[in-house]
Chain A
Amino acid sequence: MAEILVFSEKDEIAFELLSKGRELKEELCLGLAAALLGQEVEGRSSQYFSYGAEKVYLGESALWVDFYVETYAQALQRVAEEGGAQILLLGSTKRGKELASRVAQKLGAGCITDVIGLRLEGDGLVADRYALGGNTVASEVIKTERKVIAVMPKTFEAFPLEDGEGQTVHLDLELPEPRVRVVERRPKEGEAVNVEEAEVLVCIGRGLGAEEDLEMIWELAQALGAEVGCTKTLASDFGWLSEERIVGLSGKKCNPRLYVGIGISGQIQHTVGILGSKIIVAINNDPQAPIFKIADYGIVGDLYEVVPRLAERLTPP
């Protein structure tokens, strides 16, 4: 039976994809399989069954001390061809994106990355992704027989079955020595911050004049019980905040209850990351700033006057 094949180097993303796969397989009359690749992966297969995999391909190789896209793509190609995978669902992490593209090329398949929504329409599988720098959402279908789809993390909810059982298939892999060697891995010295999870998010942009002025932003964040995020410029170019705090196209996508954008003009590269917010508040001295168009509440004013006053008002005496 032809199947849907799920793979992600991150188990939690594979479980999200399997959960969605359970829905798709019914309507498409396909099997649901997952690939587990790496070192000593066998122990994890029962969890994959509990998220709905009917079959788990186990690929172990001593060469896989590190994730190397070329050999992972080779292994996935084999699994897809031998198992008759019609749809490959991968995670759109950095590794997942490059893997999706490389395996798609091996399979002669069309591929869509950074997918934020997936649905069946007529006979076709329609995938949504941001296009034109985040100005639009493109809905696309893949015309090749095999389809490779890389889905953004947290697009689907992972929910386990009460019981799950399946078949394990051991892959006998003969892989070439990777041509890229990892010589060092340096954990990012970022703080343990997770702006994606924040219920209240204060974001700061170029309107802030100096690094010292971050202090009043932190004070406001504290008063609101908020996490602090920023635009790419403030982290990557100015280095005022860590890159983990970047919100937008090259950073995190956030869905807070409340988003407060301060000194942010509202360029699409940033706003793509905040469209899921329940309430958007913008504080900016330029009435023409595009952020006001997507704001629920806008204050046209000097952030140096508004922010301290707001923090003071929100802080219990």
Chain B
Amino acid sequence: MQIVVCLKQIPDLQQIRIKRDTREPVLEGLPFLLGDMDKNALEEAVRIVEQRGGKVTALALGSPKLRDTIKEALAMGADEALLLIDPAFADSDTMTTAKILAKAIEKREYDLILCGEGSTDNYSGQVPSRLAEILGLPQVTYVRQLEFTEGGLRATRDMEEALEIVEVSLPALVSVTSEISEPRLPSLIQILKAAKKPLQEWTSEDLALSAHEVGKEASSLEVISNLAPEQERKNITLEGEVDEVVEQLTDAFTREGVIAR
């Protein structure tokens, strides 16, 4: 079983700061992490290969920092990493990202492509569908449980009102939700071993993509602004003994007219 897992490198959003005057996010200097659900996908891939044999390839597109970020994927059990790093790739949108990833995947043999259902930062959920379309694959999204059958996969999809159990033959693209697995914390030995695993890098030239087919120039979207939403809140801290704060709060409820008395 040859599995390609697509991973996205994102800044640690827990540490993000917002400039008070301009409401702009400050991203400089934030450490990079792998996307949450991307790690769920990777964990699932590693478990499948542990049980059934095969190989897990961690595929990622991003800045040179990726060389460091991807170590976690290798420590978690990916057999090899394939990094797509090129200044021309900067500011790629979902459309160009899918195009670049597809070019890389086409050069490989695979049975299954695993992705997170969305990225931790923008959560647009577009890359899995776009990738499946480019590669001509069936897509099974929002998967919280995956089993192998005689001819392929049986997947439990987590839809809004129901769980939908579907079957599909391989090759296929599957996107997963966080319920599918608990990403392992690599041991020290696994972390040390990761340094010796094969890591390959490709640029736009390796993928036969010209500079105007990728990155900002080829992007289908333009971001006009990206600011923290305005929140005008009273920010009143109620102080005192429990009885006093409770009294103040119920008074506030009445004053604000928020509960029917």
Contacts and interface: CB of A to CB of B under 8 A. Distances in A.
A240 to B, nearest CB: 15
Contact of A297 (B219, B225, B234): B234
Interface string A276-305: 001111000000000011111111110001
Contacts of B126: 97, 100-101, 104, 111, 113
Interface in B4-37: 13-14, 16, 18, 25, 27
A284 to B, nearest CB: 11
Contact of B223 (A94, A138, A181, A182): A138
Contacts of B161: 187-188
Contacts of A294: 231, 233
Interface string A158-188: 0000000000000000000001111111111
Interface string B122-142: 111111111011100011111
Contacts of B13: 132-133, 135, 268
Interface in B219-261: 219-229, 231, 233-239, 242-243, 245-247, 249-250, 252-253, 256, 258-260
Contacts of A110: 93, 95, 220-221
A4 interface: no
Contact of A278 (B127, B258, B260): B258
A95 B141 CA distance: 9
A270 interface: no
Given A93-B160, A114-B124, A132-B13, A179 B249 contact: no
Interface stretch (B47-55, B75-83, B162-170, B197-205): B162-170
Dominant secondary structure at the B interface: mixed
A101 B130 contact: yes
Interface in A92-146: 93-95, 97-102, 104-106, 109-114, 126, 129-133, 135-144
A132 B122 contact: yes
Contacts of B162: 185-188
Contacts of B93: 110
B63 interface: no
Contacts of B139: 69-70, 98, 102, 180
B94 interface: yes
A44 interface: no
Given A111-B94, A309-B242, 15 more contacts: A70-B138, A132-B16, A135-B16, A139-B226, A143-B220, A180-B167, A182-B164, A186-B164, A186-B165, A187-B161, A187-B162, A250-B178, A297-B237, A299-B238, A306-B245
Nearest to B225: A139
B141 A98 contact: yes
20 contacts: A99-B129, A101-B125, A102-B130, A102-B139, A133-B121, A139-B224, A143-B220, A179-B168, A180-B140, A185-B162, A185-B165, A188-B163, A258-B253, A258-B256, A278-B256, A292-B237, A294-B231, A296-B233, A310-B249, A314-B250
Nearest to A250: B178
A60 B20 CA distance: 54
A69 B159 CA distance: 13
A112 B221 contact: yes
Contact of A293 (B14, B94, B235, B236): B235
A114 B138 CA distance: 23
Interface residues of B, number: 75
Interface size class of A (residues with CB under 8 A): 35 or more
Given A94-B142, A114-B124, A102 B129 contact: yes
B106 interface: no
A306 B242 contact: yes
Nearest to B220: A110
B92 interface: no
Contacts of A313: 246-247, 250
Residue in B179, B220, B233, B245 with the greatest tally of chain A CB atoms within 10 Å: B220
A105 B165 contact: no
Nearest to B153: A180
A305 B252 CA distance: 19
A296 B128 contact: no
A268 B120 CA distance: 11
Nearest to A305: B242
A66 B157 CA distance: 13
B154 interface: yes
B242 A301 contact: yes
Contact of A113 (B121, B124, B167): B124
Contact of B129 (A98, A131, A140, A300): A98
Given A105-B129, A297-B238, A143 B219 contact: yes
A137 B245 CA distance: 34
B98 interface: yes
A185 B163 CA distance: 6
B174 to A, nearest CB: 10
B236 to A, nearest CB: 5
A193 B249 CA distance: 27
Contacts of B123: 114, 130, 133, 249
Residue in B166, B236, B260 with the greatest tally of chain A CB atoms within 10 Å: B166
B36 to A, nearest CB: 10
Given A69-B139, A98-B141, A109-B220, A299 B226 contact: no
